[in-house]
Chain A
Amino acid sequence: MSEAVVITAAGAICALGADPGAILAALRAGRTAFAPLREWDSSTWPAPLAACADQLDAAAIFSDRKLLKSVQRLRRTDLLGLYAASRAIAASGMIEYRAALDGAQAAAFNENTAVFTGCGGVAYHYQYDFLPAMAAADGDIGVFGRQLGASVNPTWLLQALPNNVLCYLGIAYGFKGPNFCVTNHSVSGTTAIIEAFHSLRGGDAPRAVAVGHDAPIEPETILNLYHLGLLTSESVRPFDAARSGCLLGEGAAAMVLETASAAAQRGAAVLGTILGTGVATEAAGVLAIRPDGDGEARAIEMALEEAGVEPGAISLIAAHGNGTVNSDLSEAAAIRQVFGAVIPPVTSFKWALGHTMAAAGALDAVIALGCVRTALAPGIATLRDPDPRCLPLPVSAAATPLRGKIALVLGRGFGGMNTALVIQAPAEDCDE
């Protein structure tokens, strides 16, 4: 029998706030965080709204000034990821615990600390750094090659690395354990948590830091998603009959996971337990999803089976619910397929904080944990008329009291990717 994998700390940042508590409070207050983009003149754009994490305090990421200077050259997605991870690591107390160990024990602690990250990969705008040289070259690659040194930072490639959060968590904290970085669109962050979970369950490491981070708000993405019919000009209304698409957000979430015995050994407080995980693809195409929700249904079934719980034991479903017509419809179908007529309360958070893409699943997991810990799920405040085709999905604009401690967190991404996580809050938790 494998050991339980517990959550001993969480960090999160998005447009709603810079810690999990603030984000949950904003959701409960029915607050959305969308504003017109300021980075570009978006006054002529049909979909100019996005949810930027304005509360990001990059100077607070690390206390070491030299390290801080080098990370401040990184991309915004990395700053968000490092911020959420550094908050989670600080909250876990693991660094203070390590400081009390002797040299060999501290070295072993580092070698046995795993780090898994998930991010969106290289964005279009990273390559805008090459535009001045391209303009000067006017299509001549020979001239372009000679121009580069004058206009592009020599460390461009290192600033663009998708695995920079992994890299700098290693450098900052000395962690040396199992690791990798997932670049699988919107399931990247969830996959990082899932692989951290399995790394611990399989005995490869007693503790892991898992991070999902993304800053997907950029002109090319807005242009293409808008024309694909995935972005709205108004508000995001998951599962509403009048829903018209999603809006982009940026953010990050991180969890410190430990085996139950490792957490007990250092007397760490337990915020929750990861019970099971599922990953399934639909093989339907780069941008396509199946209308029947087949991949998501199979991911849910796998996660329930791995968790060893019946559908009836789930007290909250934190859906992907991105407010696009087809995604919500197929997600409702997937949930119906697994749960039949008896479906626990369903909510989604993207109406307020936007679609944070690679960070979405990790943020949803951290927020859903807060919901089952406090036995109250925020409603979908923008919901007016639930889409009859999504019924009988129990969605509500109002907050819903929860009867149990177990949440199911769903994630989906381009390429027909689907993930499911089953998370349980501790029995002794009470309202915060």
Chain B
Amino acid sequence: MRRRVAITGIGLVTPLGNSTADSWRALLEGRSGIAPITSFDPSGYPVQIAAEVRNFQPALDGSRRKLLKFASRHVQFALAAAQQAIEDAGVRPDPRSASRWACVAGSGMMGVAFEELAQIQRRLAPHGDFRGELMFKPGGPAPDPVAYGRNQANAGIALLVQCFGIKGYAGAIHTACASGGQAVGLALRLIRRGSADFALAGGFDSMINPIGLASFCLLGALSTDNDAPAQASRPFDLTRNGFVLGEGAGFMVLEEWQAARRRGARIYAELAGDGNSLSSYRVTDSHPSGDGPIQAMRRALEDAGADPAEVGYINAHGTSTIMNDRSECAAIRAVFGAASRVKVSSTKSLMGHLIAGAGAVEAAIGALVIHHGRLPVNANLNHPDPQCDLNFVREAEPPHRVRVAMSNSFGFGGSNSCLVLRHREDAGE
């Protein structure tokens, strides 16, 4: 008999709040986290708005506080969200269980902070061209092992396992916007196949910095609605004009189902299915027919043993770009049927796009939807795109039971992730 996986802890640091409760409340109230950028001067950029995490306090206490020097902004979000998730679950790695804990995270890609790059420029590229011969000369850069460690692609996962004493499987995943979803999916598989009994699984990112914002501005992927930040992200609306960058982290504690039941854990939902696919079409888009996302959704439903008719809510990838939104809607119609009335919303309408963190945060939202029986709205949907003809959550609805929820994440590079969550009472032990 296949092992099942329970979600027993959730931690969120998002543009909507620095805790799960605050983020969830803002989602239900339809409060936007998008505003003018405050962390640096964006006046030279065509895009001057984003969904920033505000009033953030790093979470580590006592002796672990010294580790923060190794943590970039996005890693600090990760540590705080993971701390919340572990406290929320009421179970943590101890010397006896440490090797049965896994840690998997969709890890943001940006390494070198702007100020560090500025130092490199001053010392090694005074006129803009990099001069490696200056590297070891007097006046060249001083080695900075802490900064070097901080800039490693796996610094986040390394700090997570160190801070929480996790000694089993560790994995950092990067497939752009699919990273967080694929990481949570891998964690599900680790517990199922017996490689772990517990997993700290999530995603984290922050690209709201001079280089990250530049890289998306250069691509022309972002909304330039600087004058109306709260309305700038409008997935599935005819007038949408790009996505809005967000930042933050979401982590979940996953446990083998029977063990979670035995210890009397509060179970938000069953993490029931994981589906992955490659679009194999273009770097930035999936096919207008939905090919690619279709396979991910079908695989996830099949993996969960769920029928499309059981699904009560889809947290869409819904970036607010024409190509994504139309391809995703075509995929949902293909999987659920043209007559399906399944409820759909994109929470990116309120919290922007958390990139490598998005899939994990949105899967956690899916678990909260099932736990509370409430659906977050798709904000700013005033003129639905006729090619996005789905049953969107446009207003607050009375609480009702959601048996199965789905979370989609599709990344640049063509990786697609779909996760399926099931109500604990339908898990069928």
Residues of A within 8 A of B (CB): 39-46, 110-111, 115, 120-122, 124-125, 127-128, 130-136, 139, 141-149, 151-158, 160-164, 166-167, 170-171, 173-185, 191, 195, 198, 201-202, 219-224, 226-228, 279-287, 295, 298, 413-417
Are B413 and A415 within 8 A (Cβ)? no
Which residues of chain A are near B24, meaning CB under 8 Å? none
Residue from the list B121, B154, B281 in contact with A184, Cβ < 8 A = B154
Q: Could you give, for residues 386-419 of chain B, a 1 whenever the CB lies within 8 Å of some chain A CB and a 0 otherwise?
A: 0000000000000000000000000111110000
Are B40 and A141 within 8 A (Cβ)? yes
Q: How far is the CB of B48 from chain A (nearest CB, A)?
A: 9
Q: Could you give, for residues 174-186 of chain B, a 1 whenever the CB lies within 8 Å of some chain A CB and a 0 otherwise?
A: 1110100010001
Are B282 and A171 within 8 A (Cβ)? yes
**Bound-complex Cα distance A175 to B277 (A):** 9
Are A128 and B136 within 8 A (Cβ)? no
Q: Could you give, for residues 51-94 of chain B, a 1 whenever the CB lies within 8 Å of some chain A CB and a 0 otherwise?
A: 00000000000000001001000000000000000000000000
Q: How far is the CB of A62 from chain B (nearest CB, A)?
A: 14
Closest residue of chain B to A121 (Cβ to Cβ) is B153
Are B161 and A415 within 8 A (Cβ)? yes
Residue from the list B118, B148, B283 in contact with A220, Cβ < 8 A = B148
* A/B interface sample: 5 pairs, CB < 8 A: A158-B284, A180-B415, A281-B166, A414-B158, A415-B155
**Bound-complex Cα distance A154 to B278 (A):** 24
Residue from the list B41, B129, B169 in contact with A132, Cβ < 8 A = B129
**Bound-complex Cα distance A146 to B46 (A):** 9
Closest residue of chain B to A149 (Cβ to Cβ) is B218
**Bound-complex Cα distance A145 to B155 (A):** 28
Q: How far is the CB of B199 from chain A (nearest CB, A)?
A: 13
Which residues of chain A are near B43, meaning CB under 8 Å? 142, 145
Which residues of chain B are near A115, meaning CB under 8 Å? 278
Closest residue of chain A to B183 (Cβ to Cβ) is A180
Answer whether residue B383 sits at the interface, using C-beta atoms and an 8 A cutoff. no
**Bound-complex Cα distance A191 to B284 (A):** 26
Which residues of chain B are near A44, meaning CB under 8 Å? 133, 135-137
Q: How far is the CB of A159 from chain B (nearest CB, A)?
A: 10
Which residues of chain B are near A417, meaning CB under 8 Å? 154, 158, 170
Answer whether residue B280 sits at the interface, using C-beta atoms and an 8 A cutoff. yes
Which residues of chain A are near B412, meaning CB under 8 Å? 157-158, 161, 163, 167
Are B167 and A180 within 8 A (Cβ)? no
**Bound-complex Cα distance A181 to B174 (A):** 6
Residue from the list A146, A166, A224, A286 in contact with B158, Cβ < 8 A = A286
Q: With A131-B130, A281-B166, A414-B158 in contact, do A176 and B295 touch (Cβ < 8 Å)?
A: yes
Are B159 and A286 within 8 A (Cβ)? yes
Are B193 and A145 within 8 A (Cβ)? no
Q: With A141-B210, A286-B152 in contact, do A279 and B195 touch (Cβ < 8 Å)?
A: yes
Are A280 and B193 within 8 A (Cβ)? no
Q: How far is the CB of B15 from chain A (nearest CB, A)?
A: 21
Task: Report the 10 A-B pairs with minimum CB-CB distance, sorted nearest first.
Answer: A145-B44, A121-B153, A40-B132, A415-B158, A132-B128, A227-B143, A170-B280, A41-B133, A135-B128, A167-B413
Interface stretch (choices B109-117, B310-318, B340-348): B109-117
**Bound-complex Cα distance A122 to B132 (A):** 19
Are A184 and B159 within 8 A (Cβ)? no
Which residues of chain A are near B117, meaning CB under 8 Å? 127, 130-131, 134
Q: How far is the CB of B293 from chain A (nearest CB, A)?
A: 11
Which residues of chain B are near A120, meaning CB under 8 Å? 153
Answer whether residue B373 sits at the interface, using C-beta atoms and an 8 A cutoff. no
**Bound-complex Cα distance A162 to B67 (A):** 26
Answer whether residue B168 sits at the interface, using C-beta atoms and an 8 A cutoff. yes
Answer whether residue B338 sits at the interface, using C-beta atoms and an 8 A cutoff. no
Are B174 and A163 within 8 A (Cβ)? yes
Q: How far is the CB of B407 from chain A (nearest CB, A)?
A: 16
Residue from the list A181, A298, A414 in contact with B167, Cβ < 8 A = A298
Given contacts A167-B412, A228-B143, A415-B170, 4 further A-B contacts (CB under 8 A): A171-B282, A180-B182, A281-B103, A281-B169
Closest residue of chain B to A70 (Cβ to Cβ) is B283
Which residues of chain A are near B380, meaning CB under 8 Å? none
Which residues of chain A are near B366, meaning CB under 8 Å? none
**Bound-complex Cα distance A283 to B109 (A):** 22
Are B136 and A46 within 8 A (Cβ)? yes
Are A131 and B413 within 8 A (Cβ)? no
Answer whether residue B288 sits at the interface, using C-beta atoms and an 8 A cutoff. no
Are A414 and B219 within 8 A (Cβ)? no
Which residues of chain B are near A220, meaning CB under 8 Å? 120, 148
Which residues of chain B are near A121, meaning CB under 8 Å? 107, 109, 111, 152-154, 174
Are B135 and A219 within 8 A (Cβ)? yes
Which residues of chain A are near B40, meaning CB under 8 Å? 141
Are A195 and B186 within 8 A (Cβ)? yes
**Bound-complex Cα distance A96 to B238 (A):** 45
Answer whether residue B97 sits at the interface, using C-beta atoms and an 8 A cutoff. no
Closest residue of chain B to A226 (Cβ to Cβ) is B143
Closest residue of chain A to B93 (Cβ to Cβ) is A283
Residue from the list A125, A148, A202 in contact with B193, Cβ < 8 A = A202
Answer whether residue B42 sits at the interface, using C-beta atoms and an 8 A cutoff. yes
Residue from the list A39, A161, A287 in contact with B132, Cβ < 8 A = A39
Are B219 and A42 within 8 A (Cβ)? no
Are B133 and A176 within 8 A (Cβ)? no
Are A224 and B148 within 8 A (Cβ)? yes
Q: How far is the CB of B138 from chain A (nearest CB, A)?
A: 10
Are A152 and B133 within 8 A (Cβ)? no
Q: With A135-B121, A226-B143, A295-B167 in contact, do A152 and B218 touch (Cβ < 8 Å)?
A: yes
**Bound-complex Cα distance A147 to B166 (A):** 45
Are B132 and A42 within 8 A (Cβ)? yes
Answer whether residue B220 sits at the interface, using C-beta atoms and an 8 A cutoff. yes
**Bound-complex Cα distance A45 to B143 (A):** 13
**Bound-complex Cα distance A145 to B209 (A):** 11
Answer whether residue B323 sits at the interface, using C-beta atoms and an 8 A cutoff. no
**Bound-complex Cα distance A160 to B164 (A):** 31
**Bound-complex Cα distance A163 to B278 (A):** 11
